[in-house]
Structure 1
Amino acid sequence: MATNEAGAMKPVAEEVVGLLQGLGVSETHWRAGTRAVHSPITGETVAHVAEASPAEADAAVERSVAAFEAWRTVPAPRRGELVRLLGEELRAHKTELGRLVTLEAGKILSEGLGEVQEMIDICDFAVGLSRQLYGLTIASERPGHRMMETWHPVGPVAIITAFNFPVAVWSWNAALALVCGNSVLWKPSEKTPLTALAVQALFERAVRAFGAAPEGLSQLLIGGAEIGAALTDDARIPVVSATGSTRMGRIVGERVARRFGRSILELGGNNAAIVCPSADLDLALRGIAFAAMGTAGQRCTTLRRLIVHESVYDTLVPRLAKAYGSVGIGDPREVGTLIGPLIDKAAFEAMQTALDAARAAGGRVHGGERLQVGGHADAFYVRPALVELDEQIDIVKHETFAPILYVLRCTGLPEAIKLHNGVPQGLSSSIFTNDLREAETFLSAEGSDCGIANVNIGPSGAEIGGAFGGEKETGGGRESGSDAWKAYMRRATNTINYSRALPLAQGVSFDID
């Protein structure tokens, strides 16, 4: 497959400007600021955005509180109509927004479009959910009483997102929070603010079509760590959803907990796949290749560890190494490219540090070198790295946000599961097997300790219908489908006495004259 490693590359800045204008983003948002925005495709500066000050963040929270107080009284199905209109705007502008994701985050075009499709899908999910925000009726031990639970809007929700999914993760949170009756405040990654500006413009267009949403229902706050700190420390914000590194999650979780707020944490993943003797190796090869190399290894669900049974190791791993050596790397705008650039120099340096540590421990490294693509010194393209190791050394237990796949041998499923679970993170996992017992064991309480466990597919590519999130240092948060909506609401248990007596629970007697 062609690698696109030579030849001139088209500039990005002009195309970015055209897309922003077409998506309705005011020029003042991307020309008048002091923070430079770079495209990882060429490394060039494509815009300058304005950052919010602490005073502006405080005022935005105040508006968000007022918006919440109005929005919570709107019937949930009516709230769902606004989210439906947002989904329609995303459908109408899928191509432009998806391409902007590619230009700003460096994803290949199909992945940029796929991210917008994920936004459309969660809007559809949330619209249906707006008529299903249900509680329970619970049997009471007291005669003439009815007990039930009800769910109510909780308040402004702060959403802190990462560069690798610059728009989809916002939608997972915002679509649910909005139909649940909350207002939202969004702090995007400072590396990808342009796609956030575009989404905010589309949201405002949906609001105009809706006709009666309160001002400040969804607001965008661009800035660095100080803006994130302002949101996490503000007692007016009961829920903070944060996606990023485990290091970031420790800070956010502690600060929010200090004021007794709630955190939805989606943090690091160190995802593994087990390949068993009965596995369909052709299927496994395709699943491993996408999961490990897609998005240049910059997904929280990227496959980072491969645990292969010794009986199939010498058949599978050489084939995988060959695929690593021939995969199409280059300008993500071009047809045939499967892997675009790393987000920046820091990501490249972290990758090289990890590979050096693996070599020092005796690892056999295939790939991992930097590639010159288009002659841009500030763009960082790499060959994905396959690293064969004899044991799960310390560097393997650390998530390096780059395309590195560590490969380990195992002698059986018990050893494989022990290796699999022997890392601090617990996001996603998979097993390739045609043995029913192995598959069921992996999915059982004694199997994978992750929030997501798959059979005969890789750990990446989750659908919005299921709750997304993981255990241990992944943070424990759940977003997107299933009953993740409950994290954006407050629960009340209600008891109604429709009798003329007043019996107390647990047989307590308290009679007065």
Structure 2
Amino acid sequence: MPIATVNPANGETLRTFDELGADGIERCLATAASAFRRYRTTDLPERARLMSRAADLLEEDQDAIARTMTTEMGKPLAAARAEAAKCVKAMRWYAGHAEILLADEFPSETEVKDSGAAHARVRYRPLGVVLAVMPWNFPLWQVTRFAAPALMAGNVGLLKHASNVPQTALYLEDLFRRAGYPEGCFQTLLVGSRAVEGILRDPRVAAATLTGSEPAGRSVAAIAGDEIKKTVLELGGSDPYVVLPSADLDRAVSTAVTARVQNNGQSCIAAKRFIVHTRVYDDFAERFTARMAALTVGDPMADTTDVGPLASEQGRADLEELVDDAVRRGATVLCGGSRPEGLERGWFYEPTVLAGITPGMRIHREEAFGPVATLYRVGGLDEAVELANDTPFGLSSNVWTRDREEQERFARDIEAGGVFFNGMTASHPALPFGGVKRSGYGRELAGHGIREFCNVTTVWHGADPDAS
């Protein structure tokens, strides 16, 4: 895949970039290793100052970088502005909290004594150069939620971004440079996927984090496992959105639309499978379908647009295959199901609702990465839990019920990294983010995220037998 900015709203190639060669990769690796040796001893107040400066610059650049993101991957401009603002918030959060999150931990006096020590503590030290393999769907946020904690922990970063968002990738390197970070603390590598293995196997790279597809995650995990290097993986998701009889149906319907079409439906944590109790199914289905059908599809730069194009022509083709397979096998199209008229030049697809989904349909097991929702009718709580878990993924989940016992049941039994009651799944810097099963492992954000790429070090001092 060429490294290029291709506008998904019209298919035009706007800029192309030369791929970094072997000599260029070597220079970046050497620079990163040298930077880590210096930066690792930078004190936390100075790291916080640098991160806060990066946040200030990003806030100033918000409108410009939002337009770049929209041009490169097609998200509505308002959503791109919100993504930039979210990155500013995360940077400031880590600048303000890292010192507490990374503070030495001290066992009790009894525990110290039992260990035979005079003193003992746990210290969080940085691992080194971390390779980040990042996707195009949230081209600024996905990187920031790695970079902010990793840099605050004293690591340095190498970014291999998706090949269709090169300008956003280069902006991030420039942002940290302008913020005053030492040379080599954060570098963008304009390379294709074939270069990842060699970079990851290089002994100067200590660890890797990947957000992306299941095949990409398998590949990086296999290479890192062979090299015995730490990884964090955030892969696909097919999140359930469960609606039970006690739900506030007005809010459940309204939120369901946003939860399905956020980022043009191209979000791992977007609600995708709508599991509705039979007592409220007909009402929910009618209102949800009407709202999905009423969404405005069009130019992502226009403030009136709800849903822009998919990021790539291949992505749309993959989505069409899932929908067509479901229809051939008996699914009912309640709205959408095709390319919208009048938007032939771009990679647009109508907001779509499918009902009558059965386990034999591909869309029941595979992630639909676009504005396509599947509806399921269930007769009770046990059936809802079973269906919610009937997926190879386990990223997050949404459950609408005001019944405390039902909430406790889902909190106990849902196989996912998050359970969101009476609201939409979202990421926040203060809350850990990640999944189970084929959605990956490890956690980003919060204290869990900043410690993922730390050497958790036991510091033990033996008692001095000559001390009085």
User: Which bracket does the TM-score occupy, shorter chain normalised?
Assistant: over 0.9
| Alpha-carbon separation, structure 1, partners of 2:95 and 2:438 | 32
Are residue 381 (structure 1) and residue 354 (structure 2) matched?
Answer: no
Are residue 470 (structure 1) and residue 439 (structure 2) matched?
Answer: no
| Alpha-carbon separation, structure 2, partners of 1:110 and 1:327 | 15
Alignment partner, residue 263 of structure 1:
231
The count of aligned residue pairs is 459
Query: AA paired with 2:431?
Result: G
- Alpha-carbon deviation of 1:374? 5.0
Alignment partner, residue 456 of structure 1:
422
| Alpha-carbon separation, structure 2, partners of 1:54 and 1:226 | 12
| Alpha-carbon separation, structure 2, partners of 1:480 and 1:237 | 22
Residues 215 and 501 (structure 1 numbering): CA distance in 2 closer, same or farther, change over 3 Å?
same
| Alpha-carbon separation, structure 2, partners of 1:217 and 1:123 | 16
Alignment partner, residue 12 of structure 1:
none
| Alpha-carbon separation, structure 1, partners of 2:89 and 2:466 | 51
Q: Which 5+ residue runs of structure 2 have no aligned equivalent?
A: none
Between 388-397 and 272-281, the greater mean CA deviation after superposition: 388-397
CA contact (8 A) 1:392 1:419 kept: no
Alignment partner, residue 451 of structure 2:
486
Query: AA paired with 1:250?
Result: R
Mapping of 1:77-92 within 5 angstroms?
77-92=45-60
Query: AA paired with 1:149?
Result: V
Q: Deviations over 1:273-322 (max 9, x none)?
A: 11001111110101110111121210011111010001111111011111
Alignment partner, residue 196 of structure 1:
169
Partner secondary structure for residue 274 of structure 1:
strand
Are residue 344 (structure 1) and residue 317 (structure 2) matched?
Answer: no
1:158 to 111, 116, 131: 131
| Alpha-carbon separation, structure 1, partners of 2:117 and 2:200 | 45
Mapping of 1:302-313 within 5 angstroms?
302-313=270-281
| Alpha-carbon separation, structure 1, partners of 2:41 and 2:115 | 33
| Alpha-carbon separation, structure 1, partners of 2:211 and 2:357 | 33
2:152 to 163, 179, 184: 179
| Alpha-carbon separation, structure 2, partners of 1:423 and 1:403 | 19
Between 367-376 and 96-105, the greater mean CA deviation after superposition: 367-376
Are residue 436 (structure 1) and residue 404 (structure 2) matched?
Answer: yes
| Alpha-carbon separation, structure 2, partners of 1:117 and 1:159 | 21
CA contact (8 A) 2:116 2:463 kept: no
Alignment partner, residue 391 of structure 1:
358
Q: Deviations over 1:4-41 (max 9, x none)?
A: xxxxxxxxxxxxxxxxxxxxxxxxxxxxxx74320111
Residues 142 and 168 (structure 1 numbering): CA distance in 2 closer, same or farther, change over 3 Å?
closer
CA contact (8 A) 1:57 1:230 kept: no
- Alpha-carbon deviation of 1:228? 2.1
Alignment partner, residue 187 of structure 2:
219
Runs of 4+ aligned structure 1 residues displaced above 6 Å come to none
| Alpha-carbon separation, structure 2, partners of 1:332 and 1:386 | 22
CA contact (8 A) 1:37 1:46 kept: yes
CA contact (8 A) 1:369 1:383 kept: yes
Mapping of 1:216-295 within 5 angstroms?
216-295=184-263
Partner secondary structure for residue 414 of structure 1:
helix
| Alpha-carbon separation, structure 2, partners of 1:91 and 1:321 | 37
Partner secondary structure for residue 231 of structure 2:
strand
- Alpha-carbon deviation of 1:166? 0.7
| Alpha-carbon separation, structure 2, partners of 1:297 and 1:36 | 23
Residues 36 and 485 (structure 1 numbering): CA distance in 2 closer, same or farther, change over 3 Å?
closer
| Alpha-carbon separation, structure 1, partners of 2:220 and 2:45 | 33
- Alpha-carbon deviation of 1:392? 3.6
| Alpha-carbon separation, structure 2, partners of 1:195 and 1:35 | 12
TM-score (norm 1): 0.87
Query: AA paired with 1:370?
Result: R
Query: AA paired with 1:176?
Result: P
CA contact (8 A) 1:373 1:381 kept: no
| Alpha-carbon separation, structure 1, partners of 2:214 and 2:73 | 21
- Alpha-carbon deviation of 1:497? 1.7
| Alpha-carbon separation, structure 1, partners of 2:147 and 2:428 | 17
Are residue 319 (structure 1) and residue 287 (structure 2) matched?
Answer: yes
Q: Which 5+ residue runs of structure 1 have no aligned equivalent?
A: 1-33, 208-212, 503-513
1:124 to 92, 101, 106: 92
- Alpha-carbon deviation of 1:394? 4.6
- Alpha-carbon deviation of 1:227? 2.5
Partner secondary structure for residue 386 of structure 1:
strand
CA contact (8 A) 1:151 1:489 kept: yes
Query: AA paired with 1:298?
Result: Q
Residues 373 and 227 (structure 1 numbering): CA distance in 2 closer, same or farther, change over 3 Å?
farther
Partner secondary structure for residue 131 of structure 1:
helix
Structure possessing the higher radius of gyration over alpha carbons: 1
| Alpha-carbon separation, structure 1, partners of 2:341 and 2:133 | 33
1:417 to 365, 380, 385: 385
Residues 394 and 477 (structure 1 numbering): CA distance in 2 closer, same or farther, change over 3 Å?
farther
Residues 177 and 390 (structure 1 numbering): CA distance in 2 closer, same or farther, change over 3 Å?
closer
2:462 to 497, 500, 504: 497
Alignment partner, residue 27 of structure 1:
none
CA contact (8 A) 2:329 2:361 kept: no
Are residue 371 (structure 1) and residue 308 (structure 2) matched?
Answer: no
Query: AA paired with 2:340?
Result: L
- Alpha-carbon deviation of 1:391? 3.2
CA contact (8 A) 2:129 2:206 kept: yes
Query: AA paired with 1:223?
Result: V
Alignment partner, residue 5 of structure 2:
37
| Alpha-carbon separation, structure 2, partners of 1:126 and 1:464 | 8
Identity of aligned residues (%): 28
- Alpha-carbon deviation of 1:455? 0.3
